[in-house]
Amino acid sequence: MPELSWRHHALVQALLSRGPLKEDDFHQVFMGVTGKSPGSRKQLFNEYLLKINKELAYVQFELRGCRNQYDGNVYYGVVNNVADEQSKLGTKYSVPQIAFYKSIIEMIVQDANAGSISTIDALNICLDNQTGMASQSQGVASKVPPAFRNFTMSQKEKTLGDLVEDRWLCFMPEGNIGLGVRSFLDLRSWFHSNDVPSCEVCNEAGVKAELCQKENCTVRIHKYCLNKKFSQRRVERVCPGCGTEWHLPVSKVEAEEEDEEEEKVNSRTIQSQLTSLGTNMRKRSRNYKTRVDTVEVGASQASGSDRDLRRTTRSSVRLT
């Protein structure tokens, strides 16, 4: 059984007390505890996590990393690997609140394109169907627990606020409700057991993902996985399942970056052309000067020869 040092304890305590931490924040904690950078000492960082998880496995916990599917950021947190009745005793939520939360999750994962539901749809969830005790086909009256029947609208609103505060859910920019980072950390096995389709690239549940444009094709890929997969210009942008062309939406920032890159390329091309033109002009100037000098030298030599010839002729005349 591995023995953890105070440094390992400090890392676990930071996650337990502060909740899931963004990768950069957790790396800062690691640097403060060990004095080593996870960026340059990746192996050491992984060894710390492996040793911690060997110890946490005895109590069925795990220090896990996940990616928030809405913003693409990586988070680290400590999660419970077992969802039994005993573990439910440790939660502050009541049975109707847990059923309400599960109903919200089921609605969210049905539409990967949106990856969220409206607040109105969440508040209108009826818990009568969550007991699994109704049998209308046999004409038996539904046996709905009083706690479910009496779960009022105000209780739903308060539960939503608590779930968002505890980061099980989150409010989206457009006002909808999505999954929180703690749900992405804790519900990995739940997504798998409930047949939530996985991303074709990273194999994680595609809660918020882009769908293939071809009808009846079930391939879905996270936006950040798409950007990584199709980041190279020469890579063919097609669906890995059916081969249909995958149209990537270009954001305003990406369009501006492409325009800037195109301007840089054009500027380099123009500069290269100007440099080449200047070089040719200088060469032509040197060649022209050489030709002029040659002509002048030849003319000068010819004049000198004529003068010498005239002197010789005059001398010959005098001798005669």
For 122-174, write each residue's pLDDT tens digit.
999 888 765 544 444 444 445 667 778 888 999 999 999 999 999 999 998 88
251 vs 238: CA distance, rounded Å: 19
For 232-267, write each residue's pLDDT tens digit.
767 788 888 888 888 776 544 344 455 565 566 566
Q: What are phi and psi of 78, to 5 degrees?
A: -100, 125
Decide: helix, strand or coil at residue 129: helix
pTM for the predicted model, two decimal places:
0.70
Tokens standing for 180? 């929180």
Q: Is the pLDDT of residue 217 over 50?
A: yes
224 vs 230: CA distance, rounded Å: 10
What mean pLDDT comes out for the span 173-191?
Answer: 91
203 vs 217: CA distance, rounded Å: 17
The 10 Å CB-count burial string (b at 16+, else e) for 69-100 is bbeeeebbbbbeeeeeeeeeeeeebeebbebb
Tell me, what's the pLDDT at 192?
87
Q: Which of 11, 12, 5, 9 is nearest to 61 (CA)?
A: 12
In this predicted structure, which of 29-43, 237-251, 263-277 has the lowest mean pLDDT? Answer: 263-277
